[in-house]
Amino acid sequence: METSTATLLYAAELVEENGTYTLVVQDVRRDTVQTTPVPKAMVDKLPTFLSALAAKLNPTPPRGRW
């Protein structure tokens, strides 16, 4: 039986401090961190963006006609 192990490549956090949002992305393999400010409007749309990304990457198969 073959086993697989997951390897963490990136870790991301969205941090709010005093009404300011910052995206923090860590490249685990290279041990680097990048940060960028994120407007509140983008933060509010994040669930929509994630749903669209999930739909694009995992499309539902078309249903056959009966």
Tens of pLDDT, residue by residue over 7-54, are 999 999 999 999 999 999 999 999 999 999 999 999 999 999 999 999
Dmax over Cα atoms in the chain, in whole Å? 56
Sign, CA dihedral 22-26-31-36, equals negative
pLDDT given at position 60: 74
Please state, in angstroms and rounded to a whole number, the distance separating the CA atoms of residues 10 and 49. Answer: 19
Query: What secondary structure letter does DSSP report for 54?
Result: H
Please state, in angstroms and rounded to a whole number, the distance separating the CA atoms of residues 60 and 62. Answer: 6
pLDDT given at position 65: 66
Q: How many residues does the chain have?
A: 66
Task: Provide the Cα torsion 42, 36, 23, 44; round to 10°.
Answer: -10
